[in-house]
């Protein structure tokens, strides 16, 4: 007879989001993902009834309908500090007037996705993989979204994916072995609609690898039902990239949703965006990556925030990203260290940005430094035969 595992001492690190202003709602409704979607906060009047707003927020919400709509699930709203304008959750989902300010180096399509789109909804930028944008809707809208020109229906571009054209392109392009479903958020589809797409893609012989990019487990963990997980496990190898930016997002509900996916055999990776005032300190990011590992999610990427129009107030610096990697590498388990990348503007792809650990290459002696700043020598084969003991060297000696 099986017995339940005793409560973990780590459970306290994953508090529930609670039901907040919706405590009167029946639990069955609260846990229904469709109820959560129907009751999203989408207007200034709804939000002002729930919390005081800063003037910059009020002005931003008024103008949000012309660029990127506002939508916040009741579940995710409960993570907001309603009396703290600098709350890291608040900064991610509540519009601000700064979104209307566009710097000269910002763009509406900073990654050049539209120029690498052979058919509507498909981006073919890398040799062996494609990005399949299947929808323009999300459960909630991140204010730094690199596809704000497409998603939510509020921007200037009308997005109409052509599933059959996209699938036909993949079928006739045998170099494609990896398909990433994104959008918008694919997990907003019904189980049947998502299964149809996955089944069509899995039937293509040269497609080896399917991925789903989603923020649903964080914005709307109620969507990750046992039925959804049972359907997804039919299509292995299937991987999933989730998007969590701050340790406060690691609630017990999110942990349980991710556990259902992991138990279905789906490897999970996390992509964070480096955001000013949200996660651009070593302490916050270390807390986040540790919580991710405890939820069986591998920290995968930290993205430098793309130069999307109106995002300057949220964009941190590359130096901050390097500082964070320095603070993680060697100071915590390697599994917890993501790759810091800049997605090169114009469609150049992801470029890893790392601290400089190679100090010099001195005729086959590779002078390297470790996480403590200590310097060592590695001798390559074919270099001078003189023995160099693996002892510390002074950096100044090789400058």
pLDDT by residue for the chain (399 residues), tens digit each?
A: 444 555 566 678 999 999 999 999 999 999 999 999 999 999 999 999 999 999 999 999 998 777 899 999 999 999 999 999 999 999 999 999 999 998 888 888 888 888 899 999 999 999 999 999 999 999 999 999 999 888 888 777 778 888 999 999 999 999 999 999 999 999 999 999 999 999 999 999 999 999 999 999 999 999 999 999 999 999 999 999 999 999 999 999 999 999 999 999 999 999 999 999 999 999 999 999 999 999 999 999 999 999 999 999 999 999 999 999 999 999 999 999 999 999 998 888 999 999 999 999 888 889 999 999 999 999 987 665 555 555 555 554 444
- Same domain? For 152 and 92 the reply is no
* Assigned domain for 5 exists: no
Q: Which residue has the tokens 């069955």?
A: 28
Q: How far is CA 72 from CA 39, 90, 98, 243, in A?
A: 9, 10, 19, 16
The set of residues, in sequence order, having a beta carbon less than 8 Å from that of 399 and lying 6+ positions away, is: none
- Same domain? For 284 and 258 the reply is yes
Q: What range defines the domain where residue 21 resides? A: 11-96
**How many Å apart are CA 399 and CA 394, to the nearest integer?**
9
**Catalytic positions, written as ranges:** 125-126, 129, 138, 142, 145, 147, 306, 343, 350
- Same domain? For 78 and 19 the reply is yes
The set of residues, in sequence order, having a beta carbon less than 8 Å from that of 331 and lying 6+ positions away, is: 286, 371
Instruction: Please report the pLDDT score of residue 399 as a whole number.
Output: 40
Side-chain-facing half-sphere of 160: CA atoms under 13 Å? 1
- For residue 308, the 8-state DSSP code is B
- Please provide residue 11's backbone torsions phi and psi, each rounded to the nearest 5 degrees: -55, -35
Question: By C-alpha distance, which of 108, 122, 135 is closest to 306?
Answer: 108
- Same domain? For 204 and 278 the reply is yes
The set of residues, in sequence order, having a beta carbon less than 8 Å from that of 355 and lying 6+ positions away, is: 322, 325, 326, 329
Number of compact structural domains in the chain? 3
Residue 257's H or E segment, with its range, is: helix 252-263
- Same domain? For 70 and 148 the reply is no
- Same domain? For 253 and 326 the reply is yes
- Provide the CATH number for the domain around residue 210: 3.20.20.70
- Same domain? For 20 and 135 the reply is no
Instruction: Please report the pLDDT score of residue 390 as a whole number.
Output: 53
- Same domain? For 258 and 122 the reply is yes
pTM as predicted: 0.92
């Amino acid at each position: 007879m099986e017995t339940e595992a005793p409560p973990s001492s780590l459970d306290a690190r994953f508090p529930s989001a609670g039901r907040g202003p919706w405590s009167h709602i029946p639990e069955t409704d609260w846990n229904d993902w469709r109820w959560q979607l129907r009751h999203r906060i989408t207007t200034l009047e709804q939000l002002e009834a729930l919390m005081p707003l800063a003037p910059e927020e009020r002005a931003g919400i008024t103008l949000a309908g012309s660029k990127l709509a506002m939508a916040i699930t009741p579940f995710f709203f409960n993570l907001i500090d309603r009396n703290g304008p600098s709350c890291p959750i608040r900064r991610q989902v509540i519009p601000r007037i700064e979104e209307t300010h566009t710097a000269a180096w910002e763009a509406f399509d900073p990654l050049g996705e539209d120029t690498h789109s052979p058919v509507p909804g498909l981006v073919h930028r890398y040799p062996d993989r494609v990005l399949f944008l299947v929808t323009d809707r999300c459960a909630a809208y991140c204010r730094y979204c690199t596809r704000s020109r497409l998603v939510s229906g509020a921007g200037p571009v009308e997005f109409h994916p052509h599933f059959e054209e996209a699938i036909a392109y993949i079928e006739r392009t045998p170099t494609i072995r990896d398909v990433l479903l994104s959008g918008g958020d694919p997990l907003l589809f019904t189980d049947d609609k998502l299964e149809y797409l996955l089944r069509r893609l899995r039937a293509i012989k040269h497609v080896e690898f399917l991925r789903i990019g989603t923020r649903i487990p964080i914005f709307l963990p109620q969507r990750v039902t046992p039925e959804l997980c049972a359907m997804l496990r039919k299509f292995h190898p299937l991987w999933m990239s989730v998007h969590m930016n701050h340790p406060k997002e690691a609630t017990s509900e999110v942990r349980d949703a991710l556990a259902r996916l992991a138990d279905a055999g789906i490897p999970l990776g996390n992509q964070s965006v480096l955001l000013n005032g949200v996660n651009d300190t070593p302490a916050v990011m270390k807390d986040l990556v540790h919580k991710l590992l405890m939820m069986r999610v591998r920290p995968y990427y930290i993205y430098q925030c793309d130069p999307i129009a109106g995002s300057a107030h949220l964009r941190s610096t590359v130096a901050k990203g390097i500082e964070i990697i320095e603070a993680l590498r060697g100071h915590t388990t390697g599994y917890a260290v993501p790759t810091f990348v800049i997605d090169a503007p114009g469609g150049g792809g992801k470029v890893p940005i790392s601290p400089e650990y190679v100090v010099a290459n001195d005729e086959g002696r590779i002078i390297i430094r470790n996480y403590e700043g200590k310097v060592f020598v590695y001798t390559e084969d074919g270099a001078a035969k003189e023995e160099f003991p693996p002892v510390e060297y002074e950096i100044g000696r090789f400058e």
